[in-house]
Structure 1
Amino acid sequence: MQKALAELLECNQLEEIDINLYTGRAAHNSGGRIYGGQVLAQALSAAGRTVPAEFTLHSMHAYFLRMGDPDRQVVYDVEAIRDGRSFMTRRVVAKQYGKAIFSAMLSYQVEEEGFEHAHTVPDVPPPESLISDDERLKRYFPNGGSWPIEFRKVNPQDPENPQPKEAVSYSWFKATDKLGDELATHQQLLAYASDNPILITALNPHGVSFLNPELATISLDHALWFYRPFRVDDWLLYETHSDVAANGRAWCRGRIYNRKGELVAAAAQEGLLRLKNR
């Protein structure tokens, strides 16, 4: 298995240190702080350890409270808020140095039948016709290492000469190697991936490059909803929109489709988005 993916999966196998209490570590150092998607994935792993197998995660609402130290373990404290016949709710607080760096509410549901409809998948080029972000950006990050998730962006901005355009972007992504069949693992990796391209969609209307050294971006809160089983080791399309930016913040939303065109998950994020010293 590709090394970065194997390390990510290993890091998501948290150590249980007491009842509903777990520890995890960062898979890699991303800019001196723990990548937010890593904490999302580990929170899913911790909470999932406390619910019966017949319950599946259907939503997560999270807040990033402090930057995480990648050189220190993270403690995940899970609280059972409600155990019902159809739904279960868990609260997870991640801590370092005795302070909360992240908190989330997660809801689990037993499978049931109901009404079905979904937004139509957008018409975009297939991933096979695109180059990976690692290849496209390697001149800017020659020592960046490899990611456990491969992204291929549709119609990407020129990082050196970005032009104002609609606040919409499309990215294909998948794990860099095959995974097992456990849905919880695929949900953890989707959570990991979902924090990557969503916020920078808000830069499109302003013609600002994500490489701009004066740019400050930090995820503030993040939400996920899961509707169908899916596999992260097959290509998924991430359609993202930014509906508003104001007061130093931007709000973005995303739809995630499988290769069949089924809408399998949705995401939303608000983040800090501003130029420093302004």
Structure 2
Amino acid sequence: MKNTKQLIDLIHLREIDTQLFIGKSESVGSLNVFGGQVLAQALNAAYRTVAEDRFCHSLHGYFILPGNLEKDIVYKVQLVRDGGSFTTRYVTAEQDGNSIFVLAASFQKEESGFDFQGNMPEVPLPETLFSWEEIYEQTKEFLPKSFGEFLSLERPVIFKPTVINNPLEKIDLPPMQNVWFKFKEMNEGVTIQHFHEILAYTSDYNILVTALQPHASKAHFGNTQMASLDHAMWFHRKPDDFSGWFLYSIEVPSTSNSRGLTNGKIFSQDGKLIASVAQEGLMRQKVK
């Protein structure tokens, strides 16, 4: 995928019935379906059954089985509740009759009320930083093959980490990470529904790998089995500009029992808190 339109097209499902949809997959470099894709497509299925004046404010998903990239994904929507202010939907994603992911999502009418948020971290501006593609071009001669292949992939999102860690330096790193990101070639026809879906897709990047950082002296992709287990997201505010830079500020409160818990906050460049994220993932040491 090269741009935002192609990403939106991937997320937008084919409707079979009013509560039944079919989705395709594209690889992001792994052998299985990218968790962010299933999350975003399930949100698309839920949105397609909700009144236009209601917008997702929270979602909670569980990854049950790895998705097969070569097979269609069937999304079934259950209409749990349509209330005066809130709407609730439950979505099951299936392959070969087996559930691979489930999503509960809640939607709300726009309302006025109290407004408070915490401050955005002080980090270098994105204009002063290198993107993944630029980092790859400068370091590809000595990067591990798998890491280089990951950085060099073409994506619809530009990522710029505020700190570049050397994967060859075996030292433990702080349990946090800040990454700027921006959607490529954002067009004027993108709606808040589209934005929520592509933000959900992007929220599965960078978050679990941050849980490896406190163990970076001994843990890496090659000796650790990693997979998203569950993912929660809360949408707080609409940004003024969908095409601007966003900061994903990620912290690691705990790793234990072969699992890592990560929390993330997504800010627009002007400091507005757009969304919050929480994810727990598998971090199982591979047996030699």
Partner in structure 1 of residue 83 of structure 2: 84
Pairwise CA distance, 1:174: 1.2
Determine the structure 2 residue equivalent to 1:256: 266
TM (normalized to structure 1)?
Answer: 0.94
Q: Secondary structure at the match of 2:37?
A: helix
Instruction: Report the more deviating stretch, 174-183 or 248-257.
Output: 174-183
| Deviation >6 Å, runs of 4+ | none
| Matched letter for residue 189 of structure 1 | I
Question: Does structure 1 residue 119 correspond to structure 2 residue 118?
Answer: yes
> Match of 1:220?
229
Identify the residue that residue 178 of structure 2 maps to in structure 1: 170
Q: Which stretch of structure 1 is more off in the superposition, 89-98 or 208-217?
A: 208-217
Deviates more, 1:99-108 or 1:136-145: 136-145
Deviation string 1:136-170 (CA, Å, 9 cap, x unpaired) is: 23524348530111110011321111422320110
- The percent identity for this pair of structures is 37
Is there any run of 5+ residues in structure 1 with no aligned partner, and where?
A: none
1:172-191 to 2 correspondences below 5 Å? 172-179=180-187, 180-191=189-200
Q: Match of 2:148?
A: 141
Alpha-carbon separation, structure 1, partners of 2:210 and 2:168:
16
Other-structure match for 1:160? 168
Structure 1, residues 165-212: CA drift from partner, whole Å, max 9, x if none?
A: 320110001111113330011111110110011111111211248754
Structure 2 vs 1, CA of residues 91 and 173 (structure 1 numbering), >3 Å: closer, same or farther? Answer: same
Deviations 1:89-115 (A, max 9, x none): 000000001000000100000011111
Distance change (3 Å), C-alpha of 1:167 and 1:177: same
Task: Tell me the equivalent position of 1:71.
Answer: 70
Match of 1:213, SS state, is helix
> Are 1:7 and 1:27, in contact at CA under 8 Å, matched by a contact in 2?
no
Rate the CA distance shift 1:232–1:30 in 2: closer, same or farther, 3 A. farther
- What does residue range 25-44 of structure 1 map to in structure 2 within 5 Å? 25-28=24-27, 30-44=29-43
Distance 1:35 1:18, change over 3 A: same
Number of aligned residue pairs:
277
With the length of structure 2 as denominator, give the TM-score of the two structures.
0.91
* SS in structure 2 of the partner of residue 3 of structure 1: coil
Whole-Å separation in 1 of the counterparts to 2:33 and 2:287: 24
* Counterpart secondary structure, 1:166: coil
Structure 1 contact 200–210 (Cα < 8 Å) conserved: no
| Residue 272 (structure 1) aligns with | 282
> What whole-Å deviation, never above 9, does each CA across 1:68-100 have from its counterpart, x for those lacking one?
001111000011100001000000000001000
Conserved 8 A contact 1:157-1:163? no
What letter corresponds to residue 214 of structure 1 in structure 2?
N
Which residue of structure 1 aligns with residue 144 of structure 2?
none
Q: 1:208 to 1:200 in 2, by over 3 A?
A: farther
Tell me the residue number matched to 1:237: 247
2: CA distance between counterparts of 1:209 and 1:259?
35
**1:17-62 alpha-carbon deviations (Å, 9 max, x no partner):** 1120000111335321100000111111110000111000000000
